[in-house]
Copies of this chain bind each other. A is one copy, B any other.
Protein backbone atom coordinates (compact mmCIF):
# COMPACT_ATOMS: atom_id res chain seq x y z
CA UNK A 1 0.00 0.00 0.00
CA UNK A 2 1.16 3.52 -0.67
CA UNK A 3 2.13 5.81 2.17
CA UNK A 4 1.44 9.53 2.12
CA UNK A 5 2.94 12.42 4.03
CA UNK A 6 0.49 14.63 5.84
CA UNK A 7 1.40 17.95 7.37
CA UNK A 8 -0.95 19.70 9.77
CA UNK A 9 -0.83 23.49 10.03
CA UNK A 10 -0.56 25.88 11.77
CA UNK A 11 1.49 23.80 14.26
CA UNK A 12 3.45 21.95 11.58
CA UNK A 13 2.90 18.37 12.82
CA UNK A 14 3.79 15.78 10.22
CA UNK A 15 2.88 12.12 9.94
CA UNK A 16 3.06 9.34 7.36
CA UNK A 17 -0.06 7.25 6.85
CA UNK A 18 -1.35 4.41 4.70
CA UNK A 19 -3.56 5.17 1.73
CA UNK A 20 -7.22 5.33 2.70
CA UNK A 21 -6.65 6.58 6.26
CA UNK A 22 -9.04 9.40 7.13
CA UNK A 23 -7.69 12.85 7.87
CA UNK A 24 -9.16 12.58 11.38
CA UNK A 25 -7.23 9.37 11.99
CA UNK A 26 -4.05 10.94 10.64
CA UNK A 27 -4.54 13.84 13.04
CA UNK A 28 -4.84 11.41 15.94
CA UNK A 29 -1.63 9.70 14.87
CA UNK A 30 0.08 13.07 14.65
CA UNK A 31 -1.33 13.95 18.08
CA UNK A 32 -3.14 16.92 16.62
CA UNK A 33 -6.47 17.71 18.18
CA UNK A 34 -9.44 18.30 15.87
CA UNK A 35 -12.94 18.88 17.21
CA UNK A 36 -15.21 15.92 16.82
CA UNK A 37 -18.63 16.05 18.38
CA UNK A 38 -20.30 13.12 16.68
CA UNK A 39 -17.61 10.47 17.03
CA UNK A 40 -16.69 10.43 13.37
CA UNK A 41 -20.19 9.90 12.02
CA UNK A 42 -19.94 12.90 9.70
CA UNK A 43 -22.98 14.66 11.12
CA UNK A 44 -21.71 17.42 13.40
CA UNK A 45 -19.52 19.25 10.92
CA UNK A 46 -17.13 20.32 13.67
CA UNK A 47 -14.07 18.71 12.17
CA UNK A 48 -13.82 20.77 8.99
CA UNK A 49 -10.30 21.36 7.80
CA UNK A 50 -8.84 23.12 4.76
CA UNK A 51 -6.69 21.16 2.33
CA UNK A 52 -4.13 23.70 1.14
CA UNK A 53 -1.75 21.42 -0.76
CA UNK A 54 -2.47 18.11 -2.48
CA UNK A 55 -5.75 16.73 -3.60
CA UNK A 56 -8.55 15.45 -1.40
CA UNK A 57 -12.17 15.04 -2.27
CA UNK A 58 -14.96 15.91 0.14
CA UNK A 59 -17.50 13.14 0.52
CA UNK A 60 -21.11 13.67 -0.52
CA UNK A 61 -22.17 13.49 3.09
CA UNK A 62 -20.04 16.49 3.91
CA UNK A 63 -21.68 18.75 1.32
CA UNK A 64 -24.70 19.52 3.49
CA UNK A 65 -22.43 20.71 6.30
CA UNK A 66 -20.14 22.93 4.25
CA UNK A 67 -21.01 26.14 2.42
CA UNK A 68 -20.30 26.38 -1.32
CA UNK A 69 -17.55 28.85 -0.62
CA UNK A 70 -15.94 26.49 1.87
CA UNK A 71 -16.00 23.67 -0.66
CA UNK A 72 -14.39 25.96 -3.23
CA UNK A 73 -11.68 26.78 -0.72
CA UNK A 74 -10.82 23.11 -0.16
CA UNK A 75 -12.70 22.54 3.11
CA UNK A 76 -13.51 18.93 3.88
CA UNK A 77 -14.71 17.01 6.94
CA UNK A 78 -11.67 15.35 8.52
CA UNK A 79 -13.64 12.32 9.69
CA UNK A 80 -15.11 11.61 6.25
CA UNK A 81 -12.18 12.25 3.96
CA UNK A 82 -9.79 9.51 2.96
CA UNK A 83 -6.20 10.23 2.06
CA UNK A 84 -4.98 9.39 -1.46
CA UNK A 85 -2.26 12.05 -1.85
CA UNK A 86 0.40 13.92 0.13
CA UNK A 87 -1.46 16.72 1.85
CA UNK A 88 -0.94 19.94 3.73
CA UNK A 89 -3.90 20.62 5.93
CA UNK A 90 -4.80 23.82 7.77
CA UNK A 91 -6.90 23.32 10.86
CA UNK A 92 -9.08 26.44 11.13
CA UNK A 93 -9.32 28.08 14.50
CA UNK A 94 -12.89 26.91 15.10
CA UNK A 95 -11.93 23.28 14.63
CA UNK A 96 -9.03 23.52 17.02
CA UNK A 97 -9.34 22.81 20.70
CA UNK A 98 -7.67 24.93 23.29
CA UNK A 99 -7.56 24.74 27.04
CA UNK A 100 -10.88 25.83 28.44
CA UNK A 101 -11.58 27.41 31.78
CA UNK A 102 -11.86 24.23 33.73
CA UNK A 103 -13.65 24.20 37.02
CA UNK A 104 -11.19 22.77 39.42
CA UNK A 105 -13.37 22.23 42.40
CA UNK A 106 -14.99 24.02 45.26
CA UNK A 107 -15.37 23.32 48.94
CA UNK A 108 -16.99 20.27 50.44
CA UNK A 109 -15.10 20.22 53.72
CA UNK A 110 -14.56 17.22 55.90
CA UNK A 111 -15.03 17.79 59.61
CA UNK A 112 -12.21 16.81 61.99
CA UNK A 113 -14.41 14.09 63.48
CA UNK A 114 -14.80 12.40 60.13
CA UNK A 115 -11.12 12.66 59.24
CA UNK A 116 -10.21 8.98 59.05
CA UNK A 117 -8.65 8.95 55.60
CA UNK A 118 -8.95 6.21 53.00
CA UNK A 119 -5.23 5.54 53.31
CA UNK A 120 -3.41 5.98 56.59
CA UNK A 121 0.26 5.88 57.42
CA UNK A 122 1.08 4.47 60.83
CA UNK A 123 4.59 4.65 62.24
CA UNK A 124 5.53 1.54 64.18
CA UNK A 125 8.38 1.05 66.63
CA UNK A 126 8.20 -2.67 67.16
CA UNK A 127 9.74 -4.54 70.07
CA UNK A 128 12.49 -6.85 68.89
CA UNK A 129 11.51 -10.54 69.09
CA UNK A 130 12.74 -12.59 72.01
CA UNK A 131 12.39 -16.26 72.74
CA UNK A 132 9.37 -15.40 74.92
CA UNK A 133 7.83 -13.22 72.26
CA UNK A 134 8.60 -14.87 68.94
CA UNK A 135 5.35 -14.39 67.05
CA UNK A 136 5.73 -14.05 63.30
CA UNK A 137 6.85 -10.80 61.73
CA UNK A 138 3.47 -10.01 60.22
CA UNK A 139 1.69 -10.80 63.48
CA UNK A 140 4.09 -8.41 65.24
CA UNK A 141 3.10 -5.68 62.78
CA UNK A 142 -0.60 -6.52 63.11
CA UNK A 143 -0.44 -6.51 66.90
CA UNK A 144 0.97 -3.00 66.92
CA UNK A 145 -1.53 -1.82 64.32
CA UNK A 146 -4.36 -3.20 66.43
CA UNK A 147 -3.02 -1.29 69.42
CA UNK A 148 -2.73 1.90 67.42
CA UNK A 149 -5.86 1.90 65.32
CA UNK A 150 -7.94 -0.80 66.93
CA UNK A 151 -8.88 -3.19 64.19
CA UNK A 152 -8.69 -6.91 64.13
CA UNK A 153 -7.50 -8.25 60.85
CA UNK A 154 -5.14 -6.87 58.28
CA UNK A 155 -4.75 -8.46 54.90
CA UNK A 156 -1.37 -8.07 53.28
CA UNK A 157 -0.39 -8.50 49.66
CA UNK A 158 2.30 -11.04 48.82
CA UNK A 159 4.88 -8.50 47.56
CA UNK A 160 4.72 -6.76 50.91
CA UNK A 161 5.02 -9.95 52.92
CA UNK A 162 7.98 -11.07 50.84
CA UNK A 163 9.95 -7.97 51.76
CA UNK A 164 8.84 -7.80 55.38
CA UNK A 165 11.53 -9.84 57.17
CA UNK A 166 14.40 -7.91 55.63
CA UNK A 167 12.68 -4.54 56.01
CA UNK A 168 12.05 -4.97 59.72
CA UNK A 169 15.52 -6.25 60.50
CA UNK A 170 17.50 -3.75 58.47
CA UNK A 171 15.60 -0.81 59.95
CA UNK A 172 15.88 -1.61 63.61
CA UNK A 173 12.18 -2.66 63.73
CA UNK A 174 11.06 0.87 62.88
CA UNK A 175 8.79 1.05 59.87
CA UNK A 176 5.78 2.89 58.53
CA UNK A 177 2.78 0.85 57.48
CA UNK A 178 0.36 2.26 54.94
CA UNK A 179 -3.06 0.88 55.68
CA UNK A 180 -5.94 1.18 53.26
CA UNK A 181 -9.63 0.73 53.81
CA UNK A 182 -10.74 -1.65 51.13
CA UNK A 183 -14.22 -2.73 50.24
CA UNK A 184 -14.21 -5.50 52.82
CA UNK A 185 -12.00 -4.16 55.60
CA UNK A 186 -8.48 -2.93 56.23
CA UNK A 187 -5.46 -4.05 54.32
CA UNK A 188 -1.76 -3.27 54.55
CA UNK A 189 -0.67 -1.62 51.33
CA UNK A 190 3.00 -1.05 51.89
CA UNK A 191 5.71 -1.11 54.55
CA UNK A 192 8.41 1.55 54.33
CA UNK A 193 11.63 1.89 56.29
CA UNK A 194 11.55 4.36 59.19
CA UNK A 195 9.05 7.18 59.67
CA UNK A 196 7.54 8.42 56.41
CA UNK A 197 4.25 9.60 57.85
CA UNK A 198 4.91 13.13 56.68
CA UNK A 199 4.50 12.00 53.06
CA UNK A 200 1.02 10.70 52.43
CA UNK A 201 -0.59 12.00 49.30
CA UNK A 202 -3.70 11.17 47.36
CA UNK A 203 -5.35 12.38 44.20
CA UNK A 204 -8.97 13.23 43.60
CA UNK A 205 -9.94 12.85 39.97
CA UNK A 206 -13.00 14.24 38.24
CA UNK A 207 -13.34 12.15 35.11
CA UNK A 208 -15.66 14.39 33.14
CA UNK A 209 -16.87 13.73 29.63
CA UNK A 210 -15.38 17.02 28.50
CA UNK A 211 -12.66 17.73 31.02
CA UNK A 212 -10.52 15.80 33.43
CA UNK A 213 -9.31 17.42 36.62
CA UNK A 214 -6.76 16.06 39.08
CA UNK A 215 -6.25 17.46 42.55
CA UNK A 216 -3.25 16.53 44.67
CA UNK A 217 -4.19 16.32 48.33
CA UNK A 218 -2.03 16.04 51.43
CA UNK A 219 -3.98 13.33 53.16
CA UNK A 220 -2.75 14.17 56.63
CA UNK A 221 -3.58 17.87 56.62
CA UNK A 222 -6.47 17.55 54.19
CA UNK A 223 -5.04 20.45 52.18
CA UNK A 224 -5.27 20.68 48.41
CA UNK A 225 -1.68 21.12 47.26
CA UNK A 226 -2.19 21.56 43.55
CA UNK A 227 -4.65 21.05 40.76
CA UNK A 228 -4.40 20.53 37.05
CA UNK A 229 -7.00 20.00 34.36
CA UNK A 230 -7.20 19.31 30.67
CA UNK A 231 -9.68 18.45 28.00
CA UNK A 232 -10.56 14.78 28.03
CA UNK A 233 -8.46 13.21 25.32
CA UNK A 234 -11.26 10.82 24.53
CA UNK A 235 -13.00 13.77 22.84
CA UNK A 236 -10.99 12.99 19.74
CA UNK A 237 -13.06 9.83 19.44
CA UNK A 238 -16.40 11.53 20.00
CA UNK A 239 -17.63 14.50 22.00
CA UNK A 240 -20.43 12.90 23.98
CA UNK A 241 -20.66 9.62 25.81
CA UNK A 242 -22.92 8.06 23.20
CA UNK A 243 -20.46 8.59 20.35
CA UNK A 244 -17.68 7.26 22.55
CA UNK A 245 -19.66 4.17 23.42
CA UNK A 246 -20.19 3.64 19.70
CA UNK A 247 -16.46 3.99 19.17
CA UNK A 248 -15.73 1.62 22.06
CA UNK A 249 -18.06 -0.99 20.60
CA UNK A 250 -15.84 -1.20 17.52
CA UNK A 251 -13.08 -3.79 17.49
CA UNK A 252 -10.36 -2.82 20.01
CA UNK A 253 -12.19 0.43 20.63
CA UNK A 254 -12.56 -0.04 24.38
CA UNK A 255 -8.85 -0.31 25.26
CA UNK A 256 -8.25 2.83 23.20
CA UNK A 257 -10.78 4.72 25.29
CA UNK A 258 -9.35 3.39 28.54
CA UNK A 259 -5.81 4.23 27.50
CA UNK A 260 -6.87 7.73 26.50
CA UNK A 261 -8.35 8.56 29.88
CA UNK A 262 -5.58 6.83 31.84
CA UNK A 263 -2.82 8.61 29.92
CA UNK A 264 -4.70 11.82 30.38
CA UNK A 265 -4.76 11.37 34.14
CA UNK A 266 -1.10 10.30 34.16
CA UNK A 267 -0.03 13.46 32.35
CA UNK A 268 -1.87 15.64 34.84
CA UNK A 269 -0.38 13.75 37.78
CA UNK A 270 3.08 14.04 36.28
CA UNK A 271 2.71 17.79 35.76
CA UNK A 272 1.65 18.28 39.35
CA UNK A 273 4.37 16.04 40.77
CA UNK A 274 7.03 17.85 38.80
CA UNK A 275 5.75 21.23 39.90
CA UNK A 276 5.51 20.19 43.54
CA UNK A 277 8.68 18.08 43.50
CA UNK A 278 6.83 15.07 44.87
CA UNK A 279 7.55 11.46 43.88
CA UNK A 280 4.52 9.86 42.24
CA UNK A 281 5.39 6.85 44.35
CA UNK A 282 4.31 8.77 47.45
CA UNK A 283 0.75 9.06 46.13
CA UNK A 284 -0.97 6.19 47.88
CA UNK A 285 -4.54 6.53 46.71
CA UNK A 286 -6.72 7.84 43.92
CA UNK A 287 -10.45 8.48 44.14
CA UNK A 288 -12.20 8.99 40.82
CA UNK A 289 -15.69 10.29 40.20
CA UNK A 290 -17.29 10.17 36.80
CA UNK A 291 -20.52 9.35 35.10
CA UNK A 292 -21.27 5.67 34.66
CA UNK A 293 -19.83 5.49 31.15
CA UNK A 294 -16.63 7.34 32.09
CA UNK A 295 -16.22 5.09 35.13
CA UNK A 296 -16.57 2.08 32.85
CA UNK A 297 -13.96 3.47 30.47
CA UNK A 298 -11.57 4.18 33.32
CA UNK A 299 -11.76 0.61 34.60
CA UNK A 300 -11.88 -0.94 31.14
CA UNK A 301 -15.40 -2.25 31.65
CA UNK A 302 -17.61 -2.77 28.63
CA UNK A 303 -20.18 0.03 28.50
CA UNK A 304 -22.05 -1.23 25.41
CA UNK A 305 -25.28 -2.15 27.18
CA UNK A 306 -25.53 1.26 28.85
CA UNK A 307 -26.50 2.85 25.56
CA UNK A 308 -29.34 0.53 24.63
CA UNK A 309 -32.70 -0.15 26.23
CA UNK A 310 -32.85 -1.38 29.03
CA UNK A 311 -29.65 0.59 29.84
CA UNK A 312 -27.61 -1.86 31.90
CA UNK A 313 -24.11 -1.05 33.14
CA UNK A 314 -21.60 -3.78 33.93
CA UNK A 315 -21.39 -2.50 37.51
CA UNK A 316 -22.69 0.28 39.74
CA UNK A 317 -20.37 -0.45 42.62
CA UNK A 318 -16.84 -0.81 41.32
CA UNK A 319 -14.17 -2.97 42.90
CA UNK A 320 -11.31 -1.18 44.54
CA UNK A 321 -8.32 -2.03 42.39
CA UNK A 322 -4.64 -1.32 42.35
CA UNK A 323 -3.95 1.90 40.49
CA UNK A 324 -1.41 -0.05 38.47
CA UNK A 325 -4.09 -2.54 37.39
CA UNK A 326 -5.51 0.15 35.14
CA UNK A 327 -2.15 1.81 34.46
CA UNK A 328 -2.45 4.88 36.66
CA UNK A 329 1.03 5.93 37.63
CA UNK A 330 0.94 6.60 41.31
CA UNK A 331 2.42 4.11 43.78
CA UNK A 332 1.89 0.81 41.96
CA UNK A 333 0.30 -0.68 45.04
CA UNK A 334 -1.81 2.42 45.65
CA UNK A 335 -5.54 1.91 45.59
CA UNK A 336 -7.91 3.30 42.96
CA UNK A 337 -11.42 3.84 44.24
CA UNK A 338 -14.04 4.63 41.61
CA UNK A 339 -17.10 6.13 43.23
CA UNK A 340 -20.27 4.06 42.82
CA UNK A 341 -23.02 4.90 40.35
CA UNK A 342 -26.77 4.68 40.76
CA UNK A 343 -27.71 3.66 37.24
CA UNK A 344 -26.54 3.86 33.66
CA UNK A 345 -27.12 7.61 33.41
CA UNK A 346 -26.65 8.60 37.03
CA UNK A 347 -23.01 8.14 37.86
CA UNK A 348 -20.47 8.45 40.61
CA UNK A 349 -20.11 12.14 39.81
CA UNK A 350 -23.69 12.83 40.89
CA UNK A 351 -23.30 10.53 43.90
CA UNK A 352 -20.18 12.50 44.86
CA UNK A 353 -22.10 15.72 44.28
CA UNK A 354 -25.04 14.69 46.45
CA UNK A 355 -22.61 13.66 49.18
CA UNK A 356 -20.48 16.81 49.00
CA UNK A 357 -23.53 19.11 49.03
CA UNK A 358 -24.69 17.37 52.19
CA UNK A 359 -28.09 16.50 50.70
CA UNK A 360 -28.10 13.04 52.26
CA UNK A 361 -27.35 14.55 55.69
CA UNK A 362 -29.95 17.29 55.50
CA UNK A 363 -33.23 17.42 57.38
CA UNK A 364 -34.59 19.73 54.68
CA UNK A 365 -35.27 18.85 51.08
CA UNK A 366 -32.48 19.86 48.73
CA UNK A 367 -31.73 19.36 45.09
CA UNK A 368 -28.71 19.12 42.83
CA UNK A 369 -28.68 19.78 39.10
CA UNK A 370 -25.50 18.88 37.29
CA UNK A 371 -25.75 20.24 33.76
CA UNK A 372 -23.51 18.86 31.08
CA UNK A 373 -24.23 16.88 27.97
CA UNK A 374 -26.52 15.02 30.31
CA UNK A 375 -28.58 16.85 32.86
CA UNK A 376 -28.53 14.88 36.09
CA UNK A 377 -30.90 15.76 38.85
CA UNK A 378 -31.10 14.53 42.43
CA UNK A 379 -33.58 15.55 45.11
CA UNK A 380 -33.90 14.38 48.66
CA UNK A 381 -32.88 14.64 52.28
CA UNK A 382 -31.53 12.39 55.01
CA UNK A 383 -34.46 10.03 54.60
CA UNK A 384 -34.88 9.61 50.89
CA UNK A 385 -33.14 10.38 47.61
CA UNK A 386 -34.52 10.34 44.09
CA UNK A 387 -32.66 11.06 40.91
CA UNK A 388 -33.00 11.04 37.19
CA UNK A 389 -31.06 11.91 34.12
CA UNK A 390 -32.05 13.42 30.82
CA UNK A 391 -30.07 13.74 27.68
CA UNK A 392 -29.70 17.48 27.23
CA UNK A 393 -27.66 17.17 24.07
CA UNK A 394 -24.40 18.98 23.50
CA UNK A 395 -25.96 22.46 23.04
CA UNK A 396 -24.95 23.78 26.48
CA UNK A 397 -21.41 22.63 25.88
CA UNK A 398 -21.21 24.28 22.48
CA UNK A 399 -22.16 21.34 20.27
CA UNK A 400 -25.09 21.07 17.85
CA UNK A 401 -25.12 24.76 17.04
CA UNK A 402 -23.58 26.57 14.07
CA UNK A 403 -21.11 28.68 16.06
CA UNK A 404 -21.23 26.84 19.35
CA UNK A 405 -17.99 26.13 21.20
CA UNK A 406 -16.70 25.25 24.63
CA UNK A 407 -16.08 27.94 27.24
CA UNK A 408 -12.51 28.47 26.12
CA UNK A 409 -10.60 31.54 24.98
CA UNK A 410 -12.59 33.59 22.50
CA UNK A 411 -15.96 32.12 23.41
CA UNK A 412 -18.76 34.65 23.76
CA UNK A 413 -20.02 34.01 27.29
CA UNK A 414 -22.21 37.04 27.95
CA UNK A 415 -24.60 38.84 25.58
CA UNK A 416 -26.88 41.82 25.93
CA UNK A 417 -29.12 43.23 23.17
CA UNK A 418 -30.64 46.67 23.49
CA UNK A 419 -32.35 48.56 20.69
CA UNK A 420 -30.58 46.67 17.92
CA UNK A 421 -27.16 46.94 19.56
CA UNK A 422 -25.41 43.76 20.61
CA UNK A 423 -22.85 43.84 23.40
CA UNK A 424 -20.89 40.74 24.28
CA UNK A 425 -18.00 39.55 26.42
CA UNK A 426 -15.62 36.74 25.56
CA UNK A 427 -13.56 34.38 27.67
CA UNK A 428 -10.12 35.89 28.03
CA UNK A 429 -11.39 39.11 26.33
CA UNK A 430 -10.15 37.69 23.04
CA UNK A 431 -11.59 38.25 19.57
CA UNK A 432 -14.69 36.09 19.37
CA UNK A 433 -14.45 32.62 17.85
CA UNK A 434 -17.88 31.29 18.72
CA UNK A 435 -20.49 31.17 21.46
CA UNK A 436 -20.40 28.95 24.54
CA UNK A 437 -23.37 27.66 26.52
CA UNK A 438 -23.81 30.59 28.84
CA UNK A 439 -23.58 32.97 25.85
CA UNK A 440 -26.23 30.99 24.02
CA UNK A 441 -28.59 31.18 26.99
CA UNK A 442 -28.02 34.92 27.13
CA UNK A 443 -28.68 35.16 23.39
CA UNK A 444 -32.00 33.41 23.61
CA UNK A 445 -33.11 35.44 26.57
CA UNK A 446 -32.08 38.70 24.89
CA UNK A 447 -33.68 37.72 21.56
CA UNK A 448 -37.01 36.89 23.14
CA UNK A 449 -36.91 39.94 25.47
CA UNK A 450 -36.32 42.18 22.44
CA UNK A 451 -39.11 40.53 20.46
CA UNK A 452 -36.67 39.29 17.81
CA UNK A 453 -37.86 35.74 18.39
CA UNK A 454 -41.21 34.65 19.72
CA UNK A 455 -41.97 32.35 22.64
CA UNK A 456 -41.79 29.46 20.14
CA UNK A 457 -38.18 30.36 19.30
CA UNK A 458 -38.99 31.39 15.73
CA UNK A 459 -37.64 34.65 14.34
CA UNK A 460 -40.09 37.45 13.84
CA UNK A 461 -39.33 37.78 10.13
CA UNK A 462 -40.86 41.22 9.90
CA UNK A 463 -38.69 42.79 12.59
CA UNK A 464 -36.51 44.49 10.02
CA UNK A 465 -33.49 44.01 12.32
CA UNK A 466 -30.32 44.45 10.25
CA UNK A 467 -28.62 41.60 12.03
CA UNK A 468 -31.34 39.16 11.05
CA UNK A 469 -30.34 37.41 7.83
CA UNK A 470 -33.15 35.72 5.96
CA UNK A 471 -31.15 34.95 2.79
CA UNK A 472 -30.18 31.40 3.77
CA UNK A 473 -32.68 28.61 4.08
CA UNK A 474 -32.29 28.85 7.85
CA UNK A 475 -32.69 32.36 9.31
CA UNK A 476 -29.81 33.54 11.48
CA UNK A 477 -28.91 36.43 13.71
CA UNK A 478 -25.46 37.98 13.76
CA UNK A 479 -24.00 38.26 17.25
CA UNK A 480 -20.52 39.31 16.09
CA UNK A 481 -19.91 40.38 12.50
CA UNK A 482 -17.04 38.93 10.44
CA UNK A 483 -14.88 42.03 10.85
CA UNK A 484 -14.84 41.63 14.65
CA UNK A 485 -14.27 37.88 14.73
CA UNK A 486 -11.13 35.81 14.93
CA UNK A 487 -12.42 33.46 12.25
CA UNK A 488 -13.18 36.24 9.75
CA UNK A 489 -16.74 34.97 9.51
CA UNK A 490 -19.97 36.15 11.06
CA UNK A 491 -20.68 34.58 14.42
CA UNK A 492 -24.36 33.80 14.33
CA UNK A 493 -27.15 32.04 16.11
CA UNK A 494 -29.56 30.31 13.75
CA UNK A 495 -33.19 29.39 14.14
CA UNK A 496 -32.19 25.75 14.23
CA UNK A 497 -29.62 26.53 16.97
CA UNK A 498 -32.39 28.12 18.99
CA UNK A 499 -34.55 25.11 18.35
CA UNK A 500 -31.80 22.83 19.66
CA UNK A 501 -31.29 24.95 22.74
CA UNK A 502 -35.00 24.97 23.49
CA UNK A 503 -35.00 21.19 23.22
CA UNK A 504 -32.04 20.97 25.59
CA UNK A 505 -33.49 23.32 28.19
CA UNK A 506 -36.86 21.62 27.74
CA UNK A 507 -35.34 18.23 28.51
CA UNK A 508 -33.57 19.50 31.64
CA UNK A 509 -36.61 21.34 32.92
CA UNK A 510 -38.96 18.44 32.13
CA UNK A 511 -36.64 16.14 34.06
CA UNK A 512 -36.67 18.44 37.09
CA UNK A 513 -40.45 18.83 36.84
CA UNK A 514 -41.04 15.09 36.51
CA UNK A 515 -38.84 14.32 39.46
CA UNK A 516 -40.56 16.91 41.65
CA UNK A 517 -44.00 15.65 40.56
CA UNK A 518 -42.91 12.03 41.04
CA UNK A 519 -42.09 12.77 44.66
CA UNK A 520 -45.30 14.79 45.03
CA UNK A 521 -43.58 18.07 45.83
CA UNK A 522 -43.78 21.65 44.69
CA UNK A 523 -40.66 23.64 43.80
CA UNK A 524 -41.41 25.80 46.85
CA UNK A 525 -40.67 22.83 49.10
CA UNK A 526 -37.06 22.65 47.89
CA UNK A 527 -34.99 24.53 50.41
CA UNK A 528 -31.81 24.76 48.37
CA UNK A 529 -31.13 23.90 44.77
CA UNK A 530 -27.45 23.30 44.02
CA UNK A 531 -26.32 23.86 40.47
CA UNK A 532 -23.11 22.17 39.43
CA UNK A 533 -21.09 21.45 36.30
CA UNK A 534 -18.34 23.17 34.36
CA UNK A 535 -21.20 25.03 32.80
CA UNK A 536 -22.41 26.50 36.09
CA UNK A 537 -19.42 28.84 36.34
CA UNK A 538 -20.67 31.06 33.59
CA UNK A 539 -24.40 30.69 33.98
CA UNK A 540 -26.55 33.77 34.48
CA UNK A 541 -29.13 32.31 36.82
CA UNK A 542 -31.95 34.85 36.28
CA UNK A 543 -31.63 34.46 32.50
CA UNK A 544 -31.48 30.65 32.84
CA UNK A 545 -34.76 30.86 34.76
CA UNK A 546 -36.22 33.30 32.27
CA UNK A 547 -35.72 30.92 29.34
CA UNK A 548 -37.20 28.08 31.39
CA UNK A 549 -34.04 26.05 31.99
CA UNK A 550 -34.15 26.33 35.79
CA UNK A 551 -37.37 26.44 37.83
CA UNK A 552 -38.70 29.83 38.94
CA UNK A 553 -37.49 29.70 42.52
CA UNK A 554 -36.31 32.57 44.75
CA UNK A 555 -32.80 33.40 43.52
CA UNK A 556 -31.25 33.03 46.99
CA UNK A 557 -32.31 29.40 47.13
CA UNK A 558 -30.18 28.56 44.13
CA UNK A 559 -26.50 27.95 44.93
CA UNK A 560 -23.51 27.45 42.70
CA UNK A 561 -21.37 24.64 43.94
CA UNK A 562 -18.82 24.47 41.16
CA UNK A 563 -17.30 21.07 40.60
CA UNK A 564 -19.21 19.09 43.21
CA UNK A 565 -17.99 15.82 41.77
CA UNK A 566 -14.32 16.66 42.40
CA UNK A 567 -15.16 17.95 45.87
CA UNK A 568 -16.87 14.65 46.64
CA UNK A 569 -13.91 12.61 45.39
CA UNK A 570 -11.54 14.64 47.55
CA UNK A 571 -13.74 14.16 50.61
CA UNK A 572 -13.62 10.40 50.04
CA UNK A 573 -9.83 10.52 50.09
CA UNK A 574 -9.96 12.21 53.45
CA UNK A 575 -12.79 10.41 55.12
CA UNK A 576 -13.91 6.82 55.26
CA UNK A 577 -17.27 8.17 56.39
CA UNK A 578 -17.62 10.16 53.15
CA UNK A 579 -16.87 7.04 51.09
CA UNK A 580 -19.37 5.08 53.15
CA UNK A 581 -21.93 7.81 52.51
CA UNK A 582 -21.33 7.55 48.77
CA UNK A 583 -21.95 3.82 48.93
CA UNK A 584 -25.15 4.40 50.88
CA UNK A 585 -26.27 7.10 48.46
CA UNK A 586 -25.64 4.86 45.47
CA UNK A 587 -27.59 2.05 47.09
CA UNK A 588 -30.47 4.06 48.47
CA UNK A 589 -31.06 6.62 45.73
CA UNK A 590 -34.07 5.72 43.58
CA UNK A 591 -33.47 6.28 39.92
CA UNK A 592 -36.48 7.29 37.87
CA UNK A 593 -35.85 6.05 34.35
CA UNK A 594 -37.39 8.90 32.37
CA UNK A 595 -37.45 6.96 29.11
CA UNK A 596 -39.85 4.68 30.92
CA UNK A 597 -41.74 7.41 32.78
CA UNK A 598 -44.86 8.21 30.77
CA UNK A 599 -45.46 11.86 31.82
CA UNK A 600 -41.95 12.82 30.70
CA UNK A 601 -42.79 13.20 27.02
CA UNK A 602 -45.74 15.49 27.82
CA UNK A 603 -43.62 17.56 30.17
CA UNK A 604 -40.90 17.76 27.57
CA UNK A 605 -43.30 18.97 24.87
CA UNK A 606 -44.83 21.47 27.27
CA UNK A 607 -41.35 22.83 27.98
CA UNK A 608 -40.53 23.48 24.29
CA UNK A 609 -41.55 27.06 24.69
CA UNK A 610 -40.04 30.22 26.19
CA UNK A 611 -40.18 30.03 29.16
CA UNK A 612 -42.89 27.31 29.09
CA UNK A 613 -46.38 26.63 27.70
CA UNK A 614 -47.68 26.94 31.25
CA UNK A 615 -46.80 30.52 32.15
CA UNK A 616 -48.04 29.99 35.74
CA UNK A 617 -44.88 27.92 36.35
CA UNK A 618 -42.77 31.06 35.77
CA UNK A 619 -44.67 33.85 37.53
CA UNK A 620 -41.59 36.06 37.96
CA UNK A 621 -40.66 36.02 34.29
CA UNK A 622 -41.79 39.19 32.54
CA UNK A 623 -41.43 39.48 28.75
A: which residues have CB within 8 A of B? 129-139, 153, 155-158, 161-166, 169, 183-185, 299-302, 304-305, 309-317, 319, 321, 325-326, 343-344, 593, 595-596
Contacts and interface: CB of A to CB of B under 8 A. Distances in A.
B138 A315 contact: yes
B134 A165 contact: no
B315 A161 contact: yes
A161 B309 CA distance: 21
Contacts of A155: 183-184, 319
**7 closest Cβ contacts across the A-B interface?**
A165-B302, A134-B310, A131-B310, A138-B315, A136-B316, A129-B312, A136-B313
Contacts of A131: 309-311, 593, 595-596
Contacts of A309: 131
B321 A165 contact: no
Contact of A313 (B133, B137, B163, B310): B137
Nearest to A134: B310
A310 B131 CA distance: 5
A174 to B, nearest CB: 17
A437 to B, nearest CB: 31
Per assembly, the copies of the chain total 2
Contacts of A133: 310
Given A184-B184, A344-B134, A593-B134, A314 B164 contact: yes
B137 A312 contact: yes
Given A131-B595, A138-B314, A165-B301, 5 more contacts: A131-B310, A157-B319, A158-B299, A164-B301, A164-B302
Contact of A134 (B130, B166, B312, B317): B312
A299 B160 CA distance: 12
Contacts of A137: 305, 312-315
Contact of A301 (B129, B161, B184, B595): B161
A264 B139 CA distance: 30
Contacts of A158: 299-300, 319, 321, 325-326
Nearest to A131: B310
Contacts of A134: 310-312, 343-344, 593
Contact of A139 (B132, B316, B321): B316
Nearest to A153: B184
